[in-house]
Chains A and B, each alone.
Chain A
Amino acid sequence: MNSRLPMASDSSSMKLKLQRSTRRRVGTGTLQQTHTGHVIRRFLVAMGDIRQSLLPRDVLSAAKELLYHLDIYICNMVQSGRQPPQVDSKTLDLIEEFILHTPKDRNSPVRRMSALQELQLLEIMCSCFQEQSRDTVRQLMFSALFNLQGNQADESRMALLSKLVSMAVAVGRVPILECAATWLQRTHRVYCVRLAQVLVDDYCSMVPGSGPTLHNIHSASPRFCCQFITAVTTLYDLTSDELTPPMELLQMIVSWIQDDPRLVLITFLNSPLSGSQPISSLDMTPLGGLIRWCIKAPLAYRRDKKQVNDGSSDSEPDTARLFSALHLSVLQVFMLLPNILNEKGLFGRLALLQMESVATLTSDLSRLLDQADKHTHAATGNTHAASQLALDRLAQALQVAMASGALLCSREDLRAICSRLPHNNLLQLVLSGPVMYYNNIHTPPLAYSPHAAHSPIPAHPTLPPHTPHTPLAAHPAPHAQYPAQPFMTGMPFPFRPGH
C-alpha cells in the first residue's frame, strides 16, 4: 500500500504513517464493534488534524497527501465492516477543499491548481485507482471523490471527473472506467450526459485521430461502454444540429453493437434486480435511445442534408446504411431479450422500454413528419420514402419490442399513441393485426407472464384469418406459430437465443 501512493517526504506524513500502522494493528487485533468505532473516531480526529497539516502545503502536495490519507481511511472503514460503508461529511469537506479547491469560507484564500498540477493530480489518481486491488475500496473512494453532493463543489467535481475519465480512456485504466460506469448508473442523467459530452468532444471532435482510442473502451470496460452508449443516446436526441451524433461516434456505436449485441444489455445483466434505480438516472439499457435514433434518423438526416446543400451527398447513403445496420442490431438485441428475461424470471414484469418514452417518440415523430410535409410541399418521392422508412422502423421496433417483452402495453394504448401518425401499411398491421385474433382481449401488462402468454394461443387458429394476413397464409407453419412464441422460430435469425 505504501508503494501505491507517492511518498510524502516530510516528517508529518511519516508520523501519520506510523500512527496508521499502529492503528491497523489495534484494529486487526480487536474486532469488537465498539472498539473499531473508537478507532474510527480516533482516525476522524486525525483527519481533522490533517487539515491543519495540509493548509501550509502547496496545492498539489496537499491533494496528494489527502488522497493518501483517504485511501487509508477507506481501507480502515472497509476492514472495520461498518455498515453502510459511508464516508463522513468531514472527509467530504476535506476533499472539496483540497482536491476540488472550493473555497471553504469567504476569508480563506482561493487556491487553484494550474493545468499542469491538475494533470499531475490526474496521473496520481489514475495510478491510485489502478493499483488499488480491492474493488470495494476503489468504489468507495471513487464515490467519495465524485459523487455529487448538490453543493457548489459539483462543478469542479464534474470537471475533474470528466478529465479523469477522458484520461483513463486514453491510457486504458480499466478500474476507473468500471467505477465511472457505476457512477453513470447512479447519477442524475443530466450529469451523465455531461460526462458523455466531454468524451465525445474530446475524442470525436477536438483531437483528430483519437477516435480509435475511444473505440477501445468496449473491450476495456463493456460496462462503461454500455453506460456510455446510454448516455450518448440520451444526449443526442436528433432534435437539432448540435444534438445529432457525430459521424465518428455513430460508426463507433454501430460497430460495437454489431460486434456484440449483448453489449447493450450488459448493465441490465449485471445489475441486481433490486429495482432500486435512482430517480432520473439513465435508462437501464440504451435501447430506447437507439430506437429513437433509428426511427428519427431518416427525417433528421434528410433535414441536415437539405441545410448542408448536398455538401455531403456521399455521406448520406453512408448514414442511411449505418442506421439501417443499427436498426437491425437493435432488433436483434430485442430478440435476445425473452431468454434473458425468462432466465431472470422477469418476462412481462420488467419493461425495458418505457411506455412514456415510446409516447414521446411517436409525438416527436408526428411533429417531424408534419414539418417535413410542410417544408417540402410537393412532397418529393424522397421525403415520402424517408417518412415511410421512419414509420416502418417504428412499426418493426414496436412489434419486436412487444413481442420480446421489452414493451409492456396493450394495442389500444399503442393505437392511442400512434393515432396522429400518417398511414403506413406496416404500422397499420402492427397496430391492428393481433386484434383480429383476439379482439376482446386486453393484454394486461402485468399479467403477461411467460406462462400466461402461452395460454391464449391455442385458441388462435380457430379464429378466421384476417384479410391483411392472407399473404402470410402461404406459410402456414410460421403463421400458426407466430402467436405461440415471442419470436418467429422460422426466421433465420443467427442470434436466436438458445441455438
Chain B
Amino acid sequence: MQSPHSHTAPAALSTQELSQEIKSFISGVDAVQGRKLSVREHARCAVRLLRSVPACRGAVLEHLRGVYDEHVSTFLHNLETEGNASSGATSNLEDIIQEVHGVLSEFIRLNPRAWAPLVSTWAVDLLGQLSSKHAGRRVAPHSSSLNELLQLWMSCAATRSLMESYSQCLAAMLAWCPDACVDALLDTSVKHSPHFDWVVAHIGSAFPGTIISRVLACGLKDFCSHGAKDQGPLVEKGSRVPKIGSVVGILGHLAAHHSDSIRKELLRMFQESLAPSTPLSPSSSSTSWEASPQLRRAAVPFLLQLAAMSPNLFGAVSSELVQGLPREELDNMLGLAVHLISQSPTGGARVLRFLADTATPASVIISGPTPSPHEGVREGCDRLLQMLLLHLHKLVFNRSEGSDVGPFGSASSQPQRVIPFLEELRSHVAPLCAETLRLERKRHLWLHQLLCLLSVYGGPSVATETLCQLLTQARNPEELALAWQLHATLSSCMAGLVPAAVAHCVAQIHTHTLGWRQLRQLLLNLAAALQSSMAAQIGSAVSVHLHDFGPLLLHGDPAVSHAAVRLLSCSPLPRTASPAHLLLLSRAAVTHFFLALRRRGEAGKTGRVLLLTRFAAYSALTLKAILQQLVEGALHKGNAELFGGQIADMSGAPVASPSVSPDLGASLLDINCRFGTTVNFSGSVWSVFHAGVIGKGLKPRTAANLPDPSGVIQNIQTLLAVIVQCCSSSSLNGSQSPSDPEEPPPINAEAAKVIAVTLVENVCPDVANGELSWPPEEHARTTVERDIHIRRCFEAHPVLFPLLQVVAAGRPALCYCSAVLRGLLATLLSHWEGSREASSTDSPWHLQASCLLVSCMGEGQLLPPVLANVHEAFAHLTPFEVRLLLLAVWEYVRGNGPLPQKFVFSSDKGIFCRDFSRDGDVSRYVAPIHSVLHKNIDRLGHLCWRFQL
C-alpha cells in the first residue's frame, strides 16, 4: 500500500542526500556546489524536504511564508509600476507557488485528518499576515471597499492559492471537526480585523450555511465558557469579549447577502434552545451544542447578547424573540430584555401590545380572544413593562446629558441618543392614544406614561401630535382630562404646546384627514375645553384659528356644523382680525343660519343666534356684513320660500314652473340670450313683454303655493329676532345706555341703515332716480317699470314688510329706503286708481301693502302721526278714496323730503327723533283726509280722533 507519488517527488533520497538537503535549506547555500540558492531553488529544496523529512514540516511552512510574501510583494510592485519588466520573476514564483499548492493539496487529499488542521491554520494565519502587511500599499484598496479588495487578492496567485488551500481544508474538516477551523478563522479575524474581512467574506459566501452555524456555535461555546460574568448587561462594557465581537462582525458582514440564512440560523438556535431537550436530536446539522444543557441554557442569553451588540442581527430576531420573553424567568435577563426592547428598531408596537395585553389583569368583562395568561406570566410582564417604562424614563431624561449613562459605549458617544423603540413608536401615536383613551384599568396609566415619554423624546412635533390625537379621540370629559394631564406633564418642558396642538388640528381639518365623527368630536372637545380649566390657553389658541373653523359651519354634516357653532359661539374672538377673515366668518355664520332654518326642527337655535349676535357685536364691519347678508339671504331665491316668498325671475315676477305653462315657449330673457346666435323670429322679439307675449294674453300667475304658514311665520320671527338682536346689541353707540335690562334695547340707527341700504339694493336694482327726495306724483310715470319691479318684489317676498318695519324702528334709516317706498307707493296709487272694485278690501294684498307702507313710514317718522294714522281707515274705504289718502301722503313726503338730517338724537331716549314742528304746516295735507272722513263719517267716526292735528 504505497501512497501514489507525484511526478515531482524525488526518487527516495538517501540519508546522506537528505542531510545535505537539510543543510542547504538551512543555510540557503547549495551544500555540494557551495553557491547561493535562488529563491526559487530554495523553495524547491523546501518542497523536497516537505515531501521527505517530516520533522522539517514546520520550518518549511515557515520558509514558504517568506516565499508567498515575496510573491505578493512582487505582484503588488508590478501593479504599482504597471510595468511587466519583472514579470519573469513573478512567473517563476508563481510556478513554485503552484508546486507548493499542488503538494499541499495532495497531502490534504491523502490525509485530511492530519494535514487539514495544520494547513488551514497556516493558510489563515499567513493570509491574515499578508493582508495586514500589504494593506498600506498604494494599489491596495481601502479595507472598506471589500469587493475591490477581494478582486485584488484573488488575482494574486499566492493569496488565491492560500485561499484555495484553506477552502479545501475547510471542506475536509467540516466533516469531523467543524469548530476547530472556524475557531482559527475567528481568531485571525480578531487579530487582523479590517484587512482580513475579505477572507471571511469569501469563505463565508463559499460556505454560507456551515460558516454561519459554526460561527454561532463557536461563539456560543466561547460565551458559555467566558461569558458568565458578561451576563449582566449593563456592566459588561469594558470587559473582554473575545469571540462574540468577531462573531458579530462576521455575521454582520454576511448579513448583506445571507440575511435569510442568518435569521434562520438564529431562530433555529433559539427554538432548539427552548425545545425540550432530546437526547438524540434528529437534525444532523446541529452538532454539539444542543446536547449540553449548559449550552442550551446559554443560548438565549447569547442571542440576546448578540442582538444587543448588533442592530442588524437584532432586527432579524426581535419579533420572534418577543414571543419567548415572558417564558424566560431568569431575573438577570430582565434588564437585558428591557434594554433590547428599548433598542428595538422595529416591532416595538407589537411588543408593547403584547406586553400590555399580557400584563393587564384579567377581567371578567373584557375577555380577549386568547385565554387569560398564567398569573406568573402576567406579573412578569407587568414587571417587565414597568421596568421598561422606568428605563425609557431614564433614557429620555438623561438623553441630553448624554455622557455616560447608556450601557453601551457606542450608543452614548452620539450627542443626541436615539432610542429605537421610541423612534419606532413615533409612527404609532394614534393607536397608542386610542388605546389609552379606552381607560382600561392599569393599561391606560402605562400607556399614558409612555405617551408622555414619547412626547418628551420626540420633541414638540410628537407632543403636538399626541395632544392633537387625544383631543380628536376623546369622547367624554374623563377622557379629555387625559389630554390635560398630558399637557400638565409636558408643559414644564416645552412651551407653546397648546397653540401648536390646535394648529395641528386645524391642519388636519384642512387636509380632510378626519372623518366627520372625529371632526365633530374634535370641535366639541375644543368647545368643552373652552369651559374647562384650560379655557384661557385653549381660548387664545382657538381664537387665532377662528377663520379656519368658520368653513366648518357649512360642513355637509349637520352634526359637524352644529359642533362648529358650539365651538365658535363659546370661543373668544381675537382682538385683531383681518377683515377678510371676519367677512369669511360672518358669511359662513349667516349661511349656516339659513341652512339651519332649512333644516327645521333642530333645536339649539339660540346658539346660532348667539353666534351671529357675537359676531355682529364684534365690529362695525361684521355687523354690516352680517346684516347685509342676512337681508340678502332672506331675499335670495333659495331661501325665499322659507319666508313665504315666491321665486322671482329677473324681472321680479314669480316664475311659472314649466309644467304650468308648457305652451309658452318664450321668455324675454331666453330670446335675448338666443339673439344673435340664431335667427328665430317665430315669436317676434318685440312682442314679448313682462306681462306676457302679445297675442297670447297675460302670463298666467303662478299659483301661490305657500308651504306652511306657521313655519313661514316662525322663520320670519326667527329672522327678525336675529336681525333685531344684531341691531340692538351692537355696541357701536357708545352713548347707548345699558341701564334697562327689561326694556328691549333700541334698534341701532347704523344697523338699520345697513338693512335699509341692502333692501334698496336688492329690491330696486335701478339706481336712476334713486335720490331720497320725492318728485311730484306725475313723475312716477317715468319709473313705471322699476316701480312694477319693486311691487312684485314685495309681492314675492312677504318678509320685506317686516324688514321695513325694523328699518323704520331704527330711525332715520327709513329715509334711505325712499326709492323703494316711492316705487311701492307709486304702484299702489296706480292700482287704486285703476281699481273698479267696490271696496278696498276686494284687493287684499294691495290693501295690506298700503296699510303696512303707511304705518312703516309713520314709524320711521317720515310722516307725522296724523298722516301715519290714515292706514287705519283704508279697510273701510273705496279704492278711489284710498288713492286720495295715499296721494296726500305722497304730497307730504314730496313737500317734506325724507332726509336723515332732519332727525336729531335725543340722548335721554337713546334714539333719533324728528321734530315735525320744524317742517311746514301739516294742515294743508290733512284736508283730503278730513274730506274722506266726512264722506264716510258713518263708518269712520270712531277714527276721527286719530286725525286731529
Interface centre among A116, A126, A201 (most CB of B within 10 A): A116
Report the minimal beta-carbon distance from A24 to chain B, rounded to whole angstroms.
Answer: 30
**Bound: A209/B62 CA distance, A:** 22
A208 contacts B by Cβ under 8 Å = yes
* Cross-chain contact B15 with A172 (CB below 8 angstroms): yes
B53 contacts A by Cβ under 8 Å = yes
**Bound: A170/B16 CA distance, A:** 10
* Cross-chain contact B26 with A209 (CB below 8 angstroms): no
Q: Digit string of A295-315 for contact with B (CB within 8 Å is 1, else 0)?
A: 000000000000000000001
A171 contacts B by Cβ under 8 Å = yes
- With both beta carbons as reference points, the residue of chain A lying nearest to B19 in the complex is identified as A171
* Cross-chain contact A116 with B114 (CB below 8 angstroms): no
Q: Digit string of B501-533 for contact with A (CB within 8 Å is 1, else 0)?
A: 000000000000000000000000000000000
B107 contacts A by Cβ under 8 Å = yes
* Cross-chain contact B5 with A206 (CB below 8 angstroms): no
In the complex, which range does the number of interface residues on chain B fall in? 35 or more
Report the minimal beta-carbon distance from A376 to chain B, rounded to whole angstroms.
Answer: 24
Given A167-B55, A171-B22, A213-B52: A206 and B115 interface contact (C-beta under 8 Å) = yes
**Bound: A232/B384 CA distance, A:** 64
* Cross-chain contact A208 with B110 (CB below 8 angstroms): yes
B12 contacts A by Cβ under 8 Å = yes
* Cross-chain contact A213 with B55 (CB below 8 angstroms): no
**Bound: A155/B539 CA distance, A:** 89
Q: Digit string of A203-227 for contact with B (CB within 8 Å is 1, else 0)?
A: 1011111111100100000000000
* Cross-chain contact B58 with A119 (CB below 8 angstroms): yes
* Cross-chain contact A206 with B2 (CB below 8 angstroms): no
| Set of chain B residues within 8 Å of A428, measured between Cβ atoms | none
A93 contacts B by Cβ under 8 Å = no
Report the minimal beta-carbon distance from B299 to chain A, rounded to whole angstroms.
Answer: 31
| Set of chain A residues within 8 Å of B114, measured between Cβ atoms | 201, 205-206
- With both beta carbons as reference points, the residue of chain A lying nearest to B23 in the complex is identified as A123
For chain A, residues 209 to 256, give those with C-beta under 8 angstroms from any C-beta of chain B. 209-213, 216, 247-248, 251
A316 contacts B by Cβ under 8 Å = no
* Cross-chain contact A171 with B53 (CB below 8 angstroms): yes
B57 contacts A by Cβ under 8 Å = yes
In the complex, which range does the number of interface residues on chain A fall in? 20 to 34
Report the minimal beta-carbon distance from A188 to chain B, rounded to whole angstroms.
Answer: 23
* Cross-chain contact A171 with B15 (CB below 8 angstroms): yes
Interface centre among B4, B25, B55, B107 (most CB of A within 10 A): B55
B1 contacts A by Cβ under 8 Å = yes
Report the minimal beta-carbon distance from B380 to chain A, rounded to whole angstroms.
Answer: 50
* Cross-chain contact B58 with A210 (CB below 8 angstroms): no
| Set of chain B residues within 8 Å of A122, measured between Cβ atoms | 55
| Set of chain B residues within 8 Å of A164, measured between Cβ atoms | 55
Given A170-B18, A209-B5, A209-B9: A115 and B54 interface contact (C-beta under 8 Å) = no
B559 contacts A by Cβ under 8 Å = no
| Set of chain B residues within 8 Å of A209, measured between Cβ atoms | 2-3, 5, 9, 12, 51-52
B274 contacts A by Cβ under 8 Å = no
* Cross-chain contact B26 with A206 (CB below 8 angstroms): no
**Bound: A202/B52 CA distance, A:** 10
**Bound: A299/B23 CA distance, A:** 48
| Set of chain A residues within 8 Å of B55, measured between Cβ atoms | 119, 122, 163-164, 166-167, 170, 202
Report the minimal beta-carbon distance from A241 to chain B, rounded to whole angstroms.
Answer: 11
| CB contacts between A and B, total, < 8 Å | 97
- With both beta carbons as reference points, the residue of chain A lying nearest to B17 in the complex is identified as A171
Report the minimal beta-carbon distance from A424 to chain B, rounded to whole angstroms.
Answer: 32
- With both beta carbons as reference points, the residue of chain A lying nearest to B15 in the complex is identified as A172
* Cross-chain contact B18 with A120 (CB below 8 angstroms): no
Q: CB < 8 Å: which of A123, A170, A248 contacts B52? A: A170
**Bound: A116/B25 CA distance, A:** 9
**Bound: A206/B466 CA distance, A:** 74
| Set of chain A residues within 8 Å of B15, measured between Cβ atoms | 170-172, 216
* Cross-chain contact B111 with A205 (CB below 8 angstroms): yes
* Cross-chain contact A212 with B53 (CB below 8 angstroms): no
B940 contacts A by Cβ under 8 Å = no
For chain A, residues 116 to 141, give those with C-beta under 8 angstroms from any C-beta of chain B. 116, 118-120, 122-123, 126
* Cross-chain contact A206 with B58 (CB below 8 angstroms): no
Q: CB < 8 Å: which of A123, A170, A172, A315 contacts B54? A: A170
A114 contacts B by Cβ under 8 Å = yes
**Bound: A120/B62 CA distance, A:** 13
* Cross-chain contact A206 with B54 (CB below 8 angstroms): yes
* Cross-chain contact A119 with B26 (CB below 8 angstroms): yes
- With both beta carbons as reference points, the residue of chain A lying nearest to B5 in the complex is identified as A209
Report the minimal beta-carbon distance from A276 to chain B, rounded to whole angstroms.
Answer: 33
**Bound: A201/B117 CA distance, A:** 14
Report the minimal beta-carbon distance from B26 to chain A, rounded to whole angstroms.
Answer: 5
Report the minimal beta-carbon distance from B119 to chain A, rounded to whole angstroms.
Answer: 11
| Set of chain B residues within 8 Å of A315, measured between Cβ atoms | 1
Q: Digit string of B701-740 for contact with A (CB within 8 Å is 1, else 0)?
A: 0000000000000000000000000000000000000000
Given A116-B26, A208-B110, A251-B1: A203 and B54 interface contact (C-beta under 8 Å) = yes
| Set of chain B residues within 8 Å of A118, measured between Cβ atoms | 58-59
| Set of chain A residues within 8 Å of B255, measured between Cβ atoms | none
| Set of chain B residues within 8 Å of A207, measured between Cβ atoms | 50-54, 57, 107
- With both beta carbons as reference points, the residue of chain B lying nearest to A127 in the complex is identified as B19
Q: CB < 8 Å: which of B9, B16, B58, B115 contacts A115? A: B58
| Set of chain A residues within 8 Å of B113, measured between Cβ atoms | 205
B913 contacts A by Cβ under 8 Å = no
* Cross-chain contact A166 with B54 (CB below 8 angstroms): yes
**Bound: A35/B753 CA distance, A:** 151
| Set of chain B residues within 8 Å of A163, measured between Cβ atoms | 55
**Bound: A122/B56 CA distance, A:** 10
- With both beta carbons as reference points, the residue of chain A lying nearest to B57 in the complex is identified as A206
- With both beta carbons as reference points, the residue of chain A lying nearest to B52 in the complex is identified as A210
| Set of chain B residues within 8 Å of A119, measured between Cβ atoms | 22, 25-26, 55-56, 58-59
| Set of chain B residues within 8 Å of A123, measured between Cβ atoms | 22-23, 26
B668 contacts A by Cβ under 8 Å = no
- With both beta carbons as reference points, the residue of chain B lying nearest to A202 in the complex is identified as B54
| Set of chain A residues within 8 Å of B417, measured between Cβ atoms | none
- With both beta carbons as reference points, the residue of chain B lying nearest to A251 in the complex is identified as B1
| Set of chain B residues within 8 Å of A170, measured between Cβ atoms | 15, 18, 52-55
**Bound: A213/B13 CA distance, A:** 9
B583 contacts A by Cβ under 8 Å = no
**Bound: A212/B13 CA distance, A:** 10
For chain A, residues 172 to 213, give those with C-beta under 8 angstroms from any C-beta of chain B. 172, 201-203, 205-213
B63 contacts A by Cβ under 8 Å = yes
| Set of chain A residues within 8 Å of B5, measured between Cβ atoms | 208-209
Given A206-B111, A209-B9: A116 and B54 interface contact (C-beta under 8 Å) = no
| Set of chain A residues within 8 Å of B22, measured between Cβ atoms | 119, 123, 167, 171
B61 contacts A by Cβ under 8 Å = yes
| Set of chain B residues within 8 Å of A202, measured between Cβ atoms | 54-55
| Set of chain B residues within 8 Å of A126, measured between Cβ atoms | 19
Q: CB < 8 Å: which of A114, A167, A201, A213 contacts B56? A: A167
Q: Digit string of B344-373 for contact with A (CB within 8 Å is 1, else 0)?
A: 000000000000000000000000000000
**Bound: A51/B190 CA distance, A:** 38
**Bound: A210/B49 CA distance, A:** 11
**Bound: A172/B23 CA distance, A:** 15
**Bound: A309/B23 CA distance, A:** 47
* Cross-chain contact A167 with B58 (CB below 8 angstroms): no
Interface centre among B1, B23, B54, B107 (most CB of A within 10 A): B54
Report the minimal beta-carbon distance from A211 to chain B, rounded to whole angstroms.
Answer: 7
Task: List 24 contacting pairs A-B, 8 Å CB cutoff, sorted by A.
Answer: A114-B62, A115-B59, A115-B61, A116-B26, A118-B58, A118-B59, A119-B26, A119-B56, A120-B26, A166-B53, A167-B22, A167-B56, A171-B15, A171-B53, A172-B18, A172-B19, A205-B113, A206-B54, A206-B114, A206-B115, A207-B54, A208-B111, A210-B51, A210-B53
List chain B positions with a Cβ less than 8 A from chain A. Answer: 1-5, 9, 12, 15-16, 18-19, 22-23, 25-26, 50-59, 61-63, 106-107, 110-111, 113-115
List chain A positions with a Cβ less than 8 A from chain B. Answer: 114-116, 118-120, 122-123, 126, 163-164, 166-167, 170-172, 201-203, 205-213, 216, 247-248, 251, 315
